[in-house]
Structures are given as structure tokens and as C-alpha cells.
Structure 1
């Protein structure tokens, strides 16, 4: 793996995203709009907004980066770009780490905008600091990017890539504790959620909402997220095909 080739890949991906203005606007501003909608839904229950809104700051980056990355990588294969790139000295890990780095930068910008809106006009209240929220948001975005790279290997069209969202994202959202506390779920559902990375993102955000300083649980949650991201990235490298058949 080469650092220079990885950075070149990241720069190339960011340039492509910069020219796709509609995708850029959707990725950067839709989370803020959804948080605003949630704030008006719970206009008389700010305590619920504080809890759910905080968790969504960790879930939105995962979801958006998963969608964008899976479709972008599929386009690379369908157009033949991936085949041409891999015929050069560029290695699979150079490509995948470059993608992860590019979308991490995009996710950092998305997280900053969403957090500024949430903590500013929407009045989100937490015990922990915004910097910790941003760290978790970027971590889950990298995880979403790595997961998108992995699942894109099993799709032949963009429509098929989008179909992975109900299978990969929705179960995690349902079982992470956003809709119902995990402690009140059945043992089987709790065990299932333990192998789903968004559960650790939701737990980390809950720690931020409860404690003013990062806790041991929060760091362990971040370590789990990093482990899932690394495992899916390696899986993406193992299943990466030059083109769709």
C-alpha cells in the first residue's frame, strides 16, 4: 500500500463529488433538514428530541456514506474505470483506503453542518462536548463507507446497490436502541444487536448525552466501530472485482 497513491485516490474521488452538486447538497444538508423536522415533531418534548436527535447525528453519516459509496464504487466498475485503475500500480487497498479517506472528509463536513444546526437553532442539549459527537459521527461515516465498498461487490446495477439498504441499514436502526431501549428487548434481539455496528454508535452517543467527559464505555464503543470498519474494509478488498459481469 502506498500513501501517495491513497491520497491521489482520495483527491480524485473528492473532485468527482465536487462536480456532482446535487449529490453534494443532499449529503451535506438533508441530515440537517431531517433534524429540523424531528425538532418540530417533538416541539413539546425536548427531552425526547435531545435523545433521538443525538443518536441520529451518529446514524445519518453511516447511512449517507453507505449509499453514496456503494453507488460510486459500482459506477467505477460498470464504466470500466476500476479495471483501468487496477491495471496500474494502484493496489486494492490504495483504492479502498482512498475512498474511505475521501468520504471521511465529506462526512466531517456533513457532521459539522448537522451539529451546528442541532446545537444552534434547534437547541440540542447534551452533557458531552460537540467535538466528541463529531468524532463519533466521522467514525460511523468511515464505517458506512467501508460497508458500502463491501456490499457494492455483490451488486450489478445501481438499483441492486440501493436494495442493500433495507437489508444492511434498517435492521441496525431498529435494534440499535433508537426506537426502543436495548435493555427492554428480548435476549435474542440483544444478541443480534451486539454484532451490528450501529448499536455501538448509538451507545457512544448515549454516553455523550449523559456524561460531560468521554467514558471508558465510549472509547470501547469507538474501538468496536473501528474494528467493524477495518474488517469490512478487508472484506471489500477480498471481494473487489475489476468490473461487473
Structure 2
């Protein structure tokens, strides 16, 4: 902006322009954003119940369903197999729903746009959202694993700690996908509608219903592009082998990579207007 005063030109930068974002996280705004989102989650009792109570309740229901079901000789019991699937994929589903709905609520209410007009940088904002929801995901995985291993007797050849870690990684993937998909919705209902598009194909093609090696070749190729495939394979590796295998490590790295890409793409949508 160029002002003319008393015949002397004065250069004055427009105040509404934001400085270019540089560097990494700024701790104070990052922690402030994280704390705000955690307070909002804590005050939303339905979300708290969905995060902490629903997974354990579903696993318990599954236990009674398979309590007297015969298992294959030398293989995992029906409950162990079903419980592992739930521990790995239920956090993905629940955190996708919670994150996409919560983020869309921020957009519709105008909170997100007001925040983006402040000096708070996008990396601090996204880091705060991601950390808050990931902490919620860790709490969910903790409760679910406690119920499964110590209350219901789930057993795996590998350490329960690896199952716990994979559950957190999958929940973090759900957070990233939820943040990303919320950018393309106009209402909370539309955010939920992304679940059949983003989550259901992964559940169908990851090998839960039909073994992947019996699918047509093109479906196997599509399955190879979906993160839930590697999440389930990592859990199966932990269930069958006492030590962590190279396949399990590779699969966890791939899922973390998918989560990181989803977070990065979500960052690019934070300037999107709700109008």
C-alpha cells in the first residue's frame, strides 16, 4: 500500500497480509491448539463414549459371540482372529468419524476461518489437531487392548505391545483421513457420507471377508494401494510370530506413511472457505 502524505510517499505494507510460513512448529500456539481441542473433546460426552466405551463394548460382544465357537486345529481361535481385526480396524473407523465430524463442525461454525486470520500458522494448527486426536486415539487403543488382553483373554504369539502400537498407528491414520475428508464436506452429515467411499472399500478388500490371494488380479492391485491391507497384515504377523518380522515392520512403516501423506494433504485444505 502506498500513502501520500504532505507530498512525501510512504510505503506501508497491508496489515491483513500474512507472513509466509517458515520453519517447524511454534510450541506455544501448538500446545494451545492441542489443549483447546482436548477440552472440546472432553466436554463432548458422546464423543468420549464413542472413543473409550464403544470399542471395548464391541470387543466384549464379540467375545460372547465366539465363546463356544470351534476353532481350526493349530490356528487362531475365532475370537482371537475377530478381536485382532477389531483392535486394528475399529480405531481407524472410530477416529475417522470423530475427526471428520469435529473438524467439519469447526469449519461450519466459522471457528476455523477465524483462526486462520490470526498469526497462527497452518503447521501449528494442524499439528495441534493431529496431536489432540492422536492422544484420543492412544486412549482408545489403551482401553481396547486392556479389555481384550487382560479382561477377555486375547492371546497372540507376539507381544501385546505391538498390537497396541499398531492400533495407535491405525487410529492416527483415521485422524489423517478424517482431517482430509472434512475439507470436502459442507455439513457434518456429508462428512459421515465419506465413510462408504473411504473406509468401506478398505474393509472389503483388506482380506477380512475374502482372502486377498483368491481375489481377481485387479482387485488385488487395488488392495495393494489401501492402507488397511497393511494394517491387517501387520496384526496377523504379530499374532503368528513371537518376534517382530520384517513384514510387520514394513507394513507399519507403510501405514505411518499413508497417515503422514493424509496429514500433509489436509494441511493444504486449511485455507478452504466454508461458504
Q: TM-score, normalised by structure 1?
A: 0.96
* Residues 61-116 of structure 1: per-residue CA shift (max 9 Å, x gap): 11111111111111111111111111112122221221111111111111111111
Structure 2 matches for 1:146-161, cutoff 5 A?
A: 146-161=176-191
Runs of 4+ in structure 1 deviating by more than 4 angstroms, as ranges, are none
Q: Which of 122, 131, 134 is residue 101 of structure 1 equivalent to?
A: 131
Task: Name the counterpart of 2:47.
Answer: 23
Aligned 8 A contact 2:80 2:154 in 1:
yes
- The number of equivalent residue pairs is 245
Higher mean C-alpha deviation, range 116-125 or range 207-216: 116-125
**Which runs of no fewer than 5 residues in structure 1 stay unpaired?**
none
- Shift in Å at residue 179 of structure 1? 1.9
**Which runs of no fewer than 5 residues in structure 2 stay unpaired?**
1-23, 72-76
Q: Is it true that 1:72 corresponds to 2:102 in the alignment?
A: yes
State how far apart, in whole Å, the 2-side matches of 1:6 and 1:55 are: 34
Task: Name the counterpart of 2:204.
Answer: 174
Aligned 8 A contact 2:99 2:175 in 1:
yes
State how far apart, in whole Å, the 1-side matches of 2:104 and 2:271 are: 10
Task: Name the counterpart of 2:144.
Answer: 114
State how far apart, in whole Å, the 1-side matches of 2:209 and 2:68 are: 19
Q: Secondary structure at the match of 1:154?
A: coil
Q: Is it true that 1:2 corresponds to 2:17 in the alignment?
A: no
Q: Secondary structure at the match of 2:183?
A: helix
State how far apart, in whole Å, the 1-side matches of 2:268 and 2:80 are: 40
Q: Is it true that 1:216 corresponds to 2:246 in the alignment?
A: yes
Structure 2 matches for 1:191-230, cutoff 5 A?
A: 191-230=221-260
Q: CA RMSD in A?
A: 1.3
* Higher share of residues assigned helix: 1
* Residues 153-209 of structure 1: per-residue CA shift (max 9 Å, x gap): 100001100000111111101111122221222211111111111111101100110
Q: Which of 67, 81, 88 is residue 58 of structure 1 equivalent to?
A: 88
| Greater C-alpha Rg | 2
Q: TM-score, normalised by structure 2?
A: 0.86
State how far apart, in whole Å, the 2-side matches of 1:140 and 1:114 are: 13
- Shift in Å at residue 242 of structure 1? 4.7
Task: Name the counterpart of 2:19.
Answer: none
* Residues 95-153 of structure 1: per-residue CA shift (max 9 Å, x gap): 12211111111111111111111112322121111111111111111111010111001
